[in-house]
Amino acid sequence: GAVVSQHPSRVICKSGTSVKIECRSLDFQATTMFWYRQFPKQSLMLMATSNEGSKATYEQGVEKDKFLINHASLTLSTLTVTSAHPEDSSFYICSARELWGAADTQYFGPGTRLTVL
């Protein structure tokens, strides 16, 4: 199956700093990638849809100036959490849309656990 990598897997930072998370599709090109946030024992919450070469589409209630998304190539999307605060601590997981076959499936990265002190 299609492989998506995510880096870093875990990050601890001080309040006020910015953190960049990378999402890469390793063996396919992804014109669309998605960023999710997941709190403990809860489901995935879609934050934004990232389209290569265009601005990301953010879900209602997600601050676009807080969570900067860049999809500069067909295999890479980045999420930058700017001026992170403890309430931003969460599990962030990306997915990439793989078009081959009937399923048109989203394949997920392994996730990034962010802890803001």
Q: Residue numbers of the site for another protein (CB under 8 A)?
A: 1, 32, 34, 42-44, 46, 49, 57, 91, 93, 95, 97, 102-111, 113
Nearer to another protein, 49 or 82 (CB): 49
Single-letter code of the amino acid located at 12: I
Q: Which helix (H) or strand (E) holds 24?
A: strand 19-25
Nearer to another protein, 70 or 105 (CB): 105
Minimum distance from CB of 65 to another protein (Å)?
A: 21
Give the whole-angstrom CA distance, residue 4 versus residue 12.
22
Task: Kindly provide the b/e burial profile for residues 1-11, where b requires at least 16 CB atoms within 10 angstroms of the residue's own CB.
Answer: ebebbbeeeeb
Give the whole-angstrom CA distance, residue 47 versus residue 113.
16
Minimum distance from CB of 106 to another protein (Å)?
A: 6
Nearer to another protein, 16 or 110 (CB): 110
Minimum distance from CB of 18 to another protein (Å)?
A: 23
> Are the C-beta atoms of residues 79 and 62 closer than 8 Å to each other?
no
Minimum distance from CB of 112 to another protein (Å)?
A: 9
